[in-house]
Structure 1
Amino acid sequence: MRVEYDPEAMDRSAFYRFLTSAVVPRPIAWVSTVTADGSTENLAPHSFFSIASTDPPIVQFTSIGRKDSLRNVEDTGEFVVNFSSRPLLEMINATAVDFPRHISEFDAAGIEREASRCVRPPRVAASHVVLECRSHTTLRMGNCTLVFGRVVHAAVDEDYLVDDRPSSERLRPLTKLGGDEWGTLGDVLHLSRIPYEEPGPG
């Protein structure tokens, strides 16, 4: 027997908790940005994250409300997505604190930076994959803003490459689940896509 939910009849926060527990696992964009005057570097996890286009390469994260990441992207047009892996869990969680805008999460959480190649926001030195992005467009939707960024440069720690691409098993990706739950990589299943074959004559 199913339990039925009507979003229009529910408290918004209650349905948010339901929705984020049902749509799992979600990859985490650990987004670094910088204020327009360059005085403060921001770092925050966003668990609504995906690829929006492959040609040109565009990734997308969602800001629920007007977070510092969104404001900085609007002001500068640049951001970096730092890969979230299991060994970085405590650091990532430490940057989810709602610090005032003038406080850098890099400094507050003691996270080492490294310079990016093509954009002003720094990379997280401990992150094994980084995507340097320039803002493509933003789209307001309800209480959220979708931020689309064109990937202008990418870098990967060479120890995490297999056959010239990042290895999921080596990277140990971290994901967000419902509530205070986080997920890690379980079994990796290898299954080839079945090609369509035209039926033969007769």
Structure 2
Amino acid sequence: MHYEAAHPSLPHNPLKAVVAPRPIGWISAMDRAGRVNLAPYSFFNAVGGEPDMVMFSSSGRKDAMTFAEEGGEFVCSLATFDLREAVNATSAPLERGVSEFGFAGLTPAPSHRVRPPRVAESPAAIECKWLQTVPLVPLGGGEAANFMVIGQVVSIYIDDRFIKDGRVDTGAMRPILRGGYFDYFTTEAENRFELKRPKGG
């Protein structure tokens, strides 16, 4: 079959089930007044190296995006299986100024190079300086409904327990990944394999 958004032939859009599993950016950001927002985004990924850059995409101008713009910084804490309920809780639409950290029973920890805190319970966090927000204007023009927020990485926190022989043991941290609908996935160390790129690749 062929699915077209303009002429849906399935009860649910399959895009998120096909582009899956996706890493989750658990974004904390601070506005000019010092208020902190924490929310998970499954449209998240690394988008550049040397310098390292990451992005998350917001459907509408939500607090994580506007706080990142106001404060000029944001942090991506790793969403893990052990923290899955707290990750989900921080997606609740709380009033601006209400702490998602407190709501989800999480501990804010000072970051190394930026003002927004990381999630203390998370084994890794990426500290970023905000670079730009790109409105994703659809074909034919009109108002953007989605916005891509890009940040440059200035520091990465990693719990020492998950560094082995100078490499981060991603599988041992058990990050959760987003699928379609209400589906999530985990990475397990026993499922890991290596592939060496062809010469010059």
1:173 to 172, 175, 181: 175
1:151 pairs with 150, 153, 167, which one? 153
Which residue number in structure 2 is paired with residue 111 of structure 1?
A: 106
Q: CA deviation at 1:115?
A: 0.6
| Residue matched to 1:4 | 2
Amino acid at match of 1:51: A
Deviation, 1:105, is: 0.3
Query: Which digits, 9 at most, give the CA deviation of each residue in 1:24-43, with x for residues without a partner?
Result: 100000000112111x2110
Matched, 1:49 2:47: no
User: TM-score if structure 2 supplies the norm length?
Assistant: 0.89
Change (3 A) 1:5 1:123: same
Mapping of residues 1-202 of structure 1, within 5 Å: 3-10=1-8, 14-15=12-13, 18-38=14-34, 40-142=35-137, 143-186=145-188, 187-196=190-199
TM-score of the two chains, using structure 1 as the length reference: 0.88
Residues in 1 aligned to 2:165 and 2:146: alpha-carbon distance in whole angstroms: 38
Deviations along 1:120-158, one digit per CA (max 9) or x if unpaired, are 111100111111100111111042111110111111000
- In structure 2, the gaps of 5 or more residues are 138-144
2:130 partner SS: strand
> CA–CA distance in 2 between the matches of 1:184 and 1:192?
20
The question of whether the paired residues in 1 share the 8 Å contact of 2:171 and 2:192 is answered with: no
How many residues matched?
Answer: 191
Letter matched to residue 180 of structure 2 = G
- Off by >6 Å, runs of 4+ in structure 1: none
Q: Which has the larger radius of gyration?
A: 1
Letter in 2 for 1:46: Y
